[in-house]
Amino acid sequence: MQTVFLLLHVIVAIALIALVLFQHGKGADAGAAFGSGASATMFGSRGSASFLSRVTAGLAAGFFITSLLLAYFATQSSTPTSVVEDLQPSKVEKKVDKIKVDKTDLPVGPEDVPQIPQQPAKQ
């Protein structure tokens, strides 16, 4: 269910961005005020301002609703937020007891540590 709302949230966000970029700025109304043929457009003499404003408001409301729903789903998650919270002391102690280290293979001193071979000096 959370995936569906996340997908819907992304689609609404992209549509909202595209719709805001599609709208005219405040400066575009000055040319339409002097009768630049705006009455013959698809949205009438008023232009697309009211239609685009309503669709933008609807998409903004959808964006806020999906944001709130996703925040709700994030707080209701039943999985632990950290690996440390998932560990129980009894399980950790049992796992540590099962690990056996062969101490004969461990280096004891500097003589057991591998050394870098010396290169012969150039003459």
Distance (Å, rounded) from C-alpha 14 to C-alpha 62?
12
CB 8 within 8 A of CB 63: no
Distance (Å, rounded) from C-alpha 28 to C-alpha 52?
15
Chain segment 19-76, per-residue pLDDT in tens: 998 887 666 555 555 555 555 555 555 555 688 889 999 999 999 999 999 999 988 8
Chain segment 83-102, per-residue pLDDT in tens: 666 666 665 566 655 666 66
The model carries a pTM of 0.50
Give helix then strand counts, H and E, for the chain. Answer: 5, 0
